[in-house]
Structure 1
Amino acid sequence: MIPDRLIEAGTLRRDGERVSVEVRLPWYRALPASCIGGAVLRVDGTEVPPESLRWEMNGRRSTFAELVPRVDDWWFPADSAVLSGELTLDGDPSAEHVVEVDLSLYIPYIVISESQVLRIEEHDRKSMTAVPA
């Protein structure tokens, strides 16, 4: 719904073998952590291995599987979350990198059928320099 603000500009961080980027909720209302269906993070066309992805929100770092039961932990539109994973950025530290994020969310209050709620998939792409974490 608001994909152009999914990636926070200037937030690409590198810390050894991990990269991270801040993301914002591309929806107009808060959602519980259990509604975060998953994400993909790519830097310069290289996808971060899915098993290494971590989601940090409200001071807690989790796998996407660990978010499923968290109905009492909310992501608000004004708050950033951090998406990170294992990827080493080589080369010139001042180089621009193309960062892409795909994010899947479930919207629990928009019911499509008796057993299904609305699922949205958003994508954003931004260029930025990585800074040390």
Structure 2
Amino acid sequence: MSIATKVLRTDGLTVDGSTAMLRIGLPWYRSLPWASVAGVAVNIDGTDLGVPSSIDGSRPDQLKERSDYWSIHQWADVRFDSSAIPVAGDEVSVRLRVDLRIPGPLSADGGPMPYRFEAVLPAVVGSHRTSPSDSATSVSSRGNVSPH
């Protein structure tokens, strides 16, 4: 199983009106502080959904203030308010990018090491009323993990 299969799920994208929610797992081998999340970007069928309205219940600019951790066992809900939301039942291609700042290993400037995770997943859009289950499912995806 690749890291991509632990981050994206075929049933992880749901919609309700003009709001989309993508359930994602942490693309790292150990839990990290939420403050390590530098950015999340989602593209559906070639359309960028823009800045998330929330990541795990916090605005993206509030993550750096959180002192709790994103567990490797926890799915995070990333919400988008956009006019580019697909319709429930549509088959789409989901491209996810997560930028992390890993504490511990230092980059050349002495700060946390930047790390970018990218993956693409075919998915069928669900409805918020039939949200994804909490159990992981195996997915067919192509993950590209590279340093930022």
- TM category (shorter chain) comes to 0.7 to 0.9
The answer (yes or no) to whether the contact 1:37–1:105 under 8 Å persists in 2 is yes
- Structure 1 match to 2:55: 55
Q: Deviations over 1:17-36 (max 9, x none)?
A: 01111111111111011000
Alignment CA distance shift 1:83-1:90 (3 Å): closer
Q: Secondary structure at the match of 1:68?
A: helix
Counterpart selection for 1:68 from 61, 64, 68 = 64
Structure 1 CA distance for aligned equivalents of residues 68 and 86 of structure 2: 36
Question: Residue 121 of structure 1: CA displacement?
Answer: 0.4
Q: Deviations over 1:67-106 (max 9, x none)?
A: 0111x21101111101120234356x42201111100011
The answer (yes or no) to whether the contact 1:6–1:123 under 8 Å persists in 2 is no
Give structure 1 regions of 4+ aligned residues with deviation exceeding 4 angstroms.
none
2:23 counterpart of 1:22? yes
Alignment CA distance shift 1:108-1:129 (3 Å): same
Aligned residue-pair number: 126
Q: Which residues of structure 2 form unaligned runs of 5+? A: 129-148
The answer (yes or no) to whether the contact 1:55–1:81 under 8 Å persists in 2 is yes
Letter in 1 for 2:50: P
Structure 1 CA distance for aligned equivalents of residues 120 and 79 of structure 2: 16
- After TM superposition, the score normalised by the length of structure 1 is 0.84
The structure with the greater share of residues assigned to strand is 1
Structure 2 CA distance for aligned equivalents of residues 3 and 116 of structure 1: 26
- Structure 2 match to 1:131: 126
Structure 2 CA distance for aligned equivalents of residues 121 and 90 of structure 1: 26
Alignment CA distance shift 1:119-1:4 (3 Å): farther
- Structure 1 match to 2:138: none
Q: Secondary structure at the match of 1:62?
A: coil
Structure 1 CA distance for aligned equivalents of residues 47 and 107 of structure 2: 35
The answer (yes or no) to whether the contact 1:4–1:124 under 8 Å persists in 2 is no
Q: Which residues of structure 1 form unaligned runs of 5+? A: none
Q: How does 1:1-133 map to 2 (within 5 A)?
A: 2-50=3-51, 52-56=52-56, 61-70=57-66, 72-88=67-83, 89-90=85-86, 93-113=88-108, 115-133=110-128
Percent of residue pairs bearing the same amino acid type: 21
Alignment CA distance shift 1:86-1:101 (3 Å): same
